[in-house]
Amino acid sequence: MPTHRIHKRGVAQTGSVGPRLVSCCCGEVTGLQNRSARLVLLVLCCLAGGLRAQQPPSHSTDAYVQKFESSYREVRSLRADFTQTYTVGAKTRVESGRVSLARGGLMRWDYQRPAPKLFVSDGKHVSLYVPEEHQLTRTPMKSSEDFRVPFELLLTRMNLHRVFSRVEMADTAMEHDPGDHVLRALPKKEFAEDYADVLIELDPQFDIRALVVNYPDHSRMEFRFDHFERNPTLPGSLFQFAPPQGTEIIDQQ
């Protein structure tokens, strides 16, 4: 019976999880891959909070943000269709599929187009399986800088004001559906060279329709969500994956 080939591979000194985790997502867009993964991680981590705000928002924005944050306090699982677009210069990479999240660090990103791919987390390890390459890359969740990981933080306590220099209403900053609103979050001074701003489009129920990270060089990472479901029943088996026999397994440390 054939067996898996397992390779051990250490993490680079930059903290990157290795080029394959990033390049599989961005395809031919290669110039800013490692930086993009690191920066999207930084920005999305802001959704969970951990630093002190330097400048208080306006009262109207503050009230809106508090309603947004409080609407997720009882959410234990999420499911949605997604479209992920990464743009740098004249190059754009678009991928789409379905994402499921549950408390405890459980995630499953089923990429369906333009090619099948699976990114899954059991709460301890994150794994990326690329069928056409017969390869699975596995990384401890605590050391992963993959930009999908922080989405799990939507199911923990959010606090935008603790990490951004300013959060403001910005409905004119991007096209959005009627009835939706857009928040713009601006970086603290020490992160001004890392990203320009973050735009979050919210529908009337505070479901996230889009999350956009704009960079100083005008590149952009955008996630759009449809058929957003809160607290769907998600079996634990959904977040487990056994690769086919003959799969090359690369263990990142």
Q: Write out pLDDT tens, residues 99-136.
A: 998 888 888 999 999 999 999 988 888 899 999 999 99
Structurally, what CATH architecture does the domain formed by 16-53+60-242+246-250 represent? Clam (2.50)
d(CA 48, CA 163): 9
Q: Residue 99: beta bridge partners?
A: 80, 109
- In this predicted structure, what is the pLDDT of residue 16? 30
Q: What percent of the chain has pLDDT over 90?
A: 37
Which residue ranges make up each domain of the chain? Answer: 16-53+60-242+246-250
pLDDT classification of 149: cutoffs 50, 70, 90: very low
Q: Looking at the chain, how many residues does it have?
A: 253
Query: What six digits make up the tokens of 54?
Result: 């330097």
pLDDT classification of 153: cutoffs 50, 70, 90: very low
Helix, strand, coil fractions of the chain, as percent rounded to 5: 20, 35, 40
- In this predicted structure, what is the pLDDT of residue 156? 52
Query: What six digits make up the tokens of 184?
Result: 């713009």
> Model pTM?
0.72
**Among 194, 200, 229, which Cα is nearest to 40's?**
194
Q: Write out pLDDT tens, residues 47-80.
A: 443 333 334 445 588 899 889 888 888 888 999 9
Q: Residue 5: beta bridge partners?
A: 248
- CA torsion through residues 227, 230, 233, 235, sign: positive
pLDDT classification of 238: cutoffs 50, 70, 90: very high
- In this predicted structure, what is the pLDDT of residue 72? 82
Residue 87 has pLDDT above 70, yes or no: yes
- In this predicted structure, what is the pLDDT of residue 161? 74
Q: Which long-range contacts does 129-135 make (Cβ < 8 Å, 24+ apart)?
A: 129/241, 129/243, 129/247, 130/24, 134/244, 134/246, 134/247, 134/248, 135/20, 135/247, 135/248, 135/249, 135/250
Residue 145 has pLDDT above 70, yes or no: no
Q: Assess whether the previous peptide bond of 114 is cis (omega < 30° from 0).
A: yes
